[in-house]
Amino acid sequence: MKLINIQKITATIKLQSGLHIGAGHAQMHIGGTDNPVIKNHTNSNPYIPGSSIKGKIRSLLEWHIGTVGDTDGAVLSFQHIGKLTANQDDAKTILKLFGGAADNNTSDELLKQIGPTRLSFWDCNLNPDWLQQIENKNLQKTEIKMENTIDRIQGTAANPRNIERVPAGAEFDFNLSVRVHDNDDNLEMILKGLKLLELTGLGGSISRGFGKIKFENLKLDDKDIQEKLDQIQIK
């Protein structure tokens, strides 16, 4: 197996609704938000961790090809391949793209067939042009959304909480590196993953309308492939 190329997929991630990817916090501050978003500690700008995108896309693809039942909900790995009832080829492609844990029972043949992980997901920072527009208008890079639960008997609001999120319209720079070995072509599976992410959303509180995204200006090594993504049909 020979590494012959490292391709670069780039795009703009545009938020269609507010995005919340939580940072967690060790302590609460008076007047602070209950649920802050993750931020770069050097400039306090929110960003999208590459690990969040990778994990969500991988999970969606495993659900899409139907392996979740065969793995009993565990992350697809080498030891599951021989137990799958269907879609072994697609499962092997997912392992090629995202990697998987091998054990002592994994055959050398399967290890050689899968090879090294093909994808590297990089953290997505705010697009500089969008950030400049926000700063020129003296607008905030995040917003606080207030939420309540409803008392079913009295019909009154209870347990108010506030959630920080990046507002709709914000733009992030998306970068993905793709290792190409022996002329393998995994673009179709990658595009399916991006389409599934568009359809289902990213981050927390998706069921309450958060996290809808859109990939724009998608390119593969500076070649426009946006139309290919737009034409993907999930069946």
Lowest mean pLDDT among 5-19, 22-36, 171-185: 22-36
**Dihedral sign of CA atoms 151, 157, 161, 162 in order:** positive
Residues with Cβ within 8 Å of residue 46, at least 6 apart in sequence: 21, 37, 38, 39, 40, 126, 141, 142, 166
Please compute the mean of the pLDDT values over residues 50-65 and round it to a whole number: 95
Q: Which of 7-11, 35-39, 42-46 has the highest mean pLDDT?
A: 7-11
- Asked whether residue 28 is domain-assigned, the answer is no
In a domain, 112, yes or no: yes
Can you list the positions of beta strands (E) in the chain?
3-15, 47-48, 119-121, 124-125, 143-150, 157-165, 171-181, 213-220, 223-224
36: β partners: none
Q: Report the predicted TM-score, pTM, of the whole model to 2 decimal places.
A: 0.88
Stronger pLDDT, 197 or 67, i.e. the higher one:
197
Q: How many residues does the chain have?
A: 235
| Distance set, CA 90 to CA 62, 84, 134, 189, 232 (Å) | 9, 11, 43, 8, 16
Q: Is residue 208 part of a domain?
A: yes
Token digits of residue 70: 């065969």
Count of helix runs (H) and strand runs (E) in the chain: 6, 9
Residue 76 is assigned to a structural domain of this protein: yes
Q: Give a yes or no: residue 81 inside a domain.
A: yes
pLDDT at 107 over 80: yes
Total number of domains in the chain? 1
Amino acid at 199: L
Note the pLDDT tens digit of each residue in 114-158. Answer: 889 999 999 999 999 999 999 999 999 998 887 667 766 666 666
State residue 102's pLDDT score: 78
Within a domain: residue 58? yes
The verdict on residue 235 lying in a domain is no
The whole domain housing 159 covers 3-22+33-230
The answer to whether position 83 is within a domain reads: yes
Answer yes or no: is pLDDT of 27 > 50: no
Q: Is the dihedral of CA 94, 127, 225, 2 positive or negative?
A: negative
Sorted by sequence, the CB contacts under 8 Å of residue 129 that are 6+ apart come out as: 171
Mapped onto helix, strand or coil, the DSSP state of residue 15 is strand
CA dihedral 182, 101, 59, 14 (to 10 degrees): -60
Q: What is the mean pLDDT of residues 216-232?
A: 96
pLDDT, residue 157, reads 62
Q: What's the farthest any 2 CA atoms get from each other in the chain?
A: 67
